[in-house]
Chain A
Amino acid sequence: MVKITVDGKVLEVDESKNLLEEVLSQGEDLPYFCWHPSMGSVGSCRQCAVIEYANDEDECGRLNMACMTSPREGARYSIEKASKFRAQAIESIMINHPHDCPVCEEGGECHLQDMTVMSGHNYRRYDGKKKTHTNQYLGPFIGHEMNRCITCYRCVRFYKDYAGGTDFGPQASHDNTYFGRWQEGPLESEFSGNLAEVCPTGVFTDKPFSKHYVRKWDLQTAPSVCTGCSVGCNTNPGERYGTLRRVVNRFNDEVNGYFLCDRGRFGTGYVNGDERITVSMTRTAHDVAPHLASTDEARAQLQAMAANGIGIGSPRASLEANFALKELVGAENFYAGISANELAMSKQILDIYRSRPVNIASIKDIEASDAVLILGEDVTNTAARLALALRQSVRNLGKKMARDMKFPEWQDAAIRQLTMDRKSPLYILSAHATRLDDIAARVEIGTAADSARLGFAIAHEIDSSAPAVHDLNADEKAQVTTIANALKEAGQPLIISGTGAMSQALIAAAANIATALNDGDKKANLALVSAEANSMGLALLMENSSNSLDDAIASKAKAAIVLENDLYRRAPGSSVDSFIGSLDQLAVLESLKTRTGEQANLVLAAGTFAETSGTFVNYEVRAQHYYSVFKPVEAIRPSTFWLSDKKLSELTQSCADSISGGEGIASLTPGAGFSFSGMKVPRQQHRYSGRTAMRANINVHEPKQEQDEEGILTYSMEGVSALKDATVFNTAWAGGWNSNQSVFKFQTHTGGALKQAGHGHCLVQSTATEKSWSDLVETEKPDGDFEVFPLYHLFGSEELTAKTDAIKEKATSAYIAINQADAGKLGLQASDGVSVEHNGAVPYIIRSSIAPGTVGVPVGLQGLNFRDLPAAIALAKAADWTSPSEWQAGNIIVSDKAPVNVENGGEA
């Protein structure tokens, strides 16, 4: 820490950070555009100018950009004295800025508006003509309005430098500078949505949001957690007039930081979709027409069914809802709504986290790792935010080089120049090429069994007490040695695997490697990705039971209650058919229409994440609370309401009591009795408009404000904002800082933890010190022509988000992926389909990375149930083939290094 003087004020600041960051941390207002806490400084916008004085006698000083300045001990700076320069700089930036604010989606949360006001540039003096640019179509997610650009280069620095995108960049020069794709078309990066938040003005805007746009101040928001995958990114969804309008990032320094993936940001439209169940229906038999059920009637019927029925839980329902169902039907009648293998994997992960001397890696840990091994998990598609973190981890070599040369880490452009294309090592063992291959030191293609075998060998190579693998060939031995050495040399090695490959051996191998890397004082990072938002929560509830969906199907129960789960996505269709057929009574609690729900006797309208509160447990067993954003129509109720008489807070407390190590769950919220000076936290901002007119068309007499029984947030604008009380962080807003850039006002230190400390609570801390090993599992090669491995799609593989219009535009229907040679053997021509054993015919694509004799089958896409397929299948050319209309080969973005020949009209 050094002492500096800014405008006469003595500040104590960190000299390893830049002056801008430090000045902001101290609560001063200093305009900026190009600097971003996650992306460092490049000094291109000239907005954060300050005067730096050479010594105490110096009265003139010199102009410096604060973001490119390291604070010097005892130095004197002035923000005030450089204000004229900043006003002039912004005036020149604004020369070509169009008169668009009223019709711009950024208006009201525009960093450019804020900074212009802050710098004091009020009136346009320039009367020349404005430069204009044409726009591009950039896909269903992002709108483009190039006229508004101020050339701060943030978009490129995020899209290319930070997120590794290749199809977007700066073009031309001077006033002609243009940011776009080389030709019109959808942005390929899975993180393109962040452009809308990174861009300080309205060049890149949220397109689905624009379709039903309202200003930021009119959105009713609440802290929420993304349900798209097991990462549990913190989000801030906004509602207006009873529909969910958009999702933006909610900062959490240990989980998602400043960024979200496109599935999480754009995949929530289903909440307003046509497929919502908005009323509860009941019928006496399968072949009788259903009729409306009142709330009391529906609850009474459910209670009656629970008396002698079983309950089937869900990895996408909250911890409380699963717990309530478990309590309702009794622990012995409660079944996890996932296959036996998946349940075993979740429990295996819990066991590994508890019993191995490893560090459970948060995203912050992943970003800090300097050698990475990914075992069979396609993280870009199963836990996308991790992929973004991994792209930062390979930059740690550059940061180390910078440290050695004694220049600061925030010098972004300089470090990139220094590093060139040198990277920290990242190794991938996978059944196919993944989107991270471009940053990988080496990619080893093999089935999950092959990867697991190599993994065990690596563990043995690092620590010889780990189980050994015999009969490795020379190539494999060399591989193993290289990877083992790289991991051993690293200061903070990271092993990533997960349930994606559906292989317990693979997870065991990952655990062994991480264990082997423990040398007493260094703990290796281990991240084991689970399948869904609350997979680990479900596993926590199943600790004393091994009841999986397979057991439920075999249970011969006569009545079943299914909680937010479509069984047809979890088990072979035929066995679900016979299970439902054998039931007398089936109750389904669901928010969207599903095939399971269609066959139910009783369907209860359940709320989505936006309409309910609860707890999700992410891949690192971090419990996080999400709050309901708005109250849905009367008939839609939270699953917890249908299943239990208890209040949510009581259910949360019971969960905390019943789960071993779950004490932290109860302290995730300030509690129902919370108040600050007699006030709660408002969901609406202080500028919320139209309150006396929005319902006036129905009745001019305004109804009483909606009440929230949980009693922490209110459905109103009355209350105390997060700026005053650091309890619940809702929307980022501070005086003069209307955009999301204001988040630094809520952080203990710019870019650091929130004052609210709303990290969630990690329920498992690995305290083990003794090494223990998983035994080597030799998997038999399955019988059949083609060995099946799962392929995941960020857009389409997840059940709920796939029902959102914008996601549908980026998704495709089912297909299979095979090797060129295999396609030749099957005699496939470009426009042929492939008939898949146990399934109908589907289109195919050729991927050069796929090993001969294996076939990639997508999970969750329409037209193929992965669970119907055995471990190996036969393929044949389909007769009389026409592609289904949902087949959009162009949406499949692969990164096989060798040129890929995607047939059937696709390109990649």
Chain B
Amino acid sequence: MLKIFLHQLNIIWSQIVSLWLVFLHLFHESDTVEYPDVKPHMFPRWRGRIILTRDPDGEERCVACNLCAVACPVDCIALQKTEDEDGRWYPEFFRINFSRCIMCGFCEEACPTHAIQLTPDFEMAEYVRQDMVWEKEHMLIDGTGKYHDYNFYKVAGKAIGGKGKGEALDELPPTDRRSLMP
């Protein structure tokens, strides 16, 4: 009988303590983040929304090499290469089906030109699944993203408008094929 009484008392006491502690919390600093009014701090290397970036000259970085698409474990990237009048390769279309994307970041790792990058933005929910299919115009930003200086065509040997043969980094001027000098 006494045992039962003490047990009941203990329950009441613990509820009083809980209420007291909750009361004390009224005077503590709040841990709750008032999302979406307050945005959490996201680290730059967080793997969120995928963007396509431009090189320091403001040209599209993506050269439509297809490496992101082949690296993608859920095959959610599809693109088609085309070429502009300067000889630069770029994607005619570049589509990511975000309803399939698992934000693994393999595409960013595979990208040889730093074009495709994952950003700390995670707010990608949609009411209609079809709206999760993003095209190039939805993903292409005006800046360089996380990597500021890299300019693929300054390193590559392929000539494009404004950069002829031998004008890339660490290149000698084109050889003279009529010369017999070694």
- Seen from chain A, the residues whose Cβ lies within 8 Å of a Cβ on chain B are 98-104, 107-108, 127-135, 145, 147-148, 171-176, 178, 180, 210-215, 217-218, 241, 687-694, 696-697, 699-701
Contacts and interface: CB of A to CB of B under 8 A. Distances in A.
30 contacts: A98-B168, A101-B112, A102-B65, A102-B67, A102-B112, A102-B113, A103-B158, A107-B65, A127-B170, A130-B171, A132-B171, A132-B173, A132-B175, A133-B174, A134-B165, A134-B174, A172-B175, A175-B182, A212-B80, A213-B64, A214-B80, A689-B69, A689-B75, A690-B77, A690-B78, A693-B76, A693-B77, A693-B133, A697-B93, A700-B99
Contact of B157 (A99, A171, A217): A99
A215 B66 contact: yes
Q: Is the interface of A mostly helix, strand, loop or mixed?
A: loop
Nearest to B75: A691
Contacts of A700: 97, 99, 129-130, 132-133
A82 B177 CA distance: 34
A213 B77 CA distance: 16
Interface in B32-68: 63-67
B178 A172 contact: yes
A98 B157 contact: yes
Contact of B158 (A98, A171, A691): A98
A27 B99 CA distance: 44
A167 to B, nearest CB: 15
Given A103-B65, A215-B66, A690-B77, A172 B158 contact: no
Given A129-B171, A131-B175, A694 B78 contact: yes
A88 B69 CA distance: 33
B172 A693 contact: no
Nearest to B154: A99
Contacts of A172: 175-180
A353 to B, nearest CB: 47
A692 B130 CA distance: 12
B133 A133 contact: no
B154 to A, nearest CB: 10
Contact of A99 (B65, B100, B155, B172): B155
B182 A693 contact: no
Contacts of B89: 102-103
A132 B174 CA distance: 5
B140 interface: no
Contacts of B120: none
A130 B174 contact: no
Interface in B92-119: 93, 95-97, 99-100, 112-113
Contacts of B171: 129-130, 132
B147 interface: no
Interface in B127-182: 129-130, 132-133, 135, 152, 155-159, 165-166, 168, 170-182
Contacts of B81: 212-214
Contacts of A691: 75
Contacts of A241: 80
Given A129-B170, A218-B66, A692-B74, 7 more contacts: A108-B70, A134-B165, A175-B175, A212-B82, A215-B66, A690-B72, A693-B97
A217 B70 CA distance: 8
Contacts of B79: 690
B157 A173 contact: no
Interface residues of B, number: 54
Contacts of B179: 172, 176
A678 to B, nearest CB: 23
A687 B73 CA distance: 10
B91 to A, nearest CB: 11
A692 B96 CA distance: 9
Contacts of A212: 80-82
Contacts of B63: 102-103
A143 to B, nearest CB: 11
Contact of A135 (B64, B96, B159, B178): B159
Contact of B172 (A132, A215, A696): A132
Nearest to B70: A689
Contacts of B132: 700
Given A147-B165, A215-B66, A173 B180 contact: yes
Nearest to B131: A700
Contacts of B74: 692
Contacts of B113: 102
B66 to A, nearest CB: 5
B169 to A, nearest CB: 9
Contacts of A213: 64, 81
- Most chain B CB within 10 A, of A128, A132, A176, A688, is at A132
Nearest to B180: A173
Nearest to A217: B70
The 5 A-B pairs at the shortest CB distance, nearest first, are namely A98-B157, A690-B78, A102-B65, A693-B78, A178-B177
Nearest to B96: A693
A100 B75 CA distance: 25
Interface in B8-35: none
B78 A129 contact: no
Nearest to B177: A178
Contacts of B135: 697
A98 to B, nearest CB: 2
Contacts of B112: 101-102
Contacts of B176: 172, 176
B157 A132 contact: yes
Contacts of A104: 158
Given A134-B165, A696-B95, A176 B170 contact: no
A127 B132 CA distance: 45
B152 A180 contact: no
Nearest to B157: A98
Contacts of A689: 66, 69-70, 72, 75, 77-78
Given A132-B173, A693-B75, A174 B100 contact: no
- Most chain B CB within 10 A, of A99, A100, A175, A218, is at A99
B158 A100 contact: yes
B57 to A, nearest CB: 16
A691 B64 CA distance: 17
B153 to A, nearest CB: 8
Contacts of A697: 93, 95, 133, 135
Contacts of B158: 98, 100, 103-104, 145, 147
A591 to B, nearest CB: 24
B113 to A, nearest CB: 6
A690 B152 contact: no
Contacts of A148: 157
A688 B83 CA distance: 23
Contacts of B69: 218, 689-690
- Most chain B CB within 10 A, of A103, A176, A691, is at A103
Contacts of B83: 210-211
A128 B175 CA distance: 16
Contact of A696 (B78, B168, B173, B178): B78
A834 to B, nearest CB: 41
A127 to B, nearest CB: 8
B177 A180 contact: yes
Contacts of B130: 699-700
A148 B165 CA distance: 12
A176 B177 contact: yes
Given A131-B175, A218-B66, A699-B130, A693 B100 contact: yes
B93 to A, nearest CB: 8
B156 A99 contact: yes
Contacts of A214: 66, 80-81
A130 B171 CA distance: 5
Given A98-B156, A145-B158, A147-B165, A690 B177 contact: no
B179 to A, nearest CB: 6
A171 B178 contact: yes
A129 B170 CA distance: 5
- Most chain B CB within 10 A, of A104, A241, A694, is at A694
A688 B66 CA distance: 11
- Most chain B CB within 10 A, of A148, A173, A215, A693, is at A693
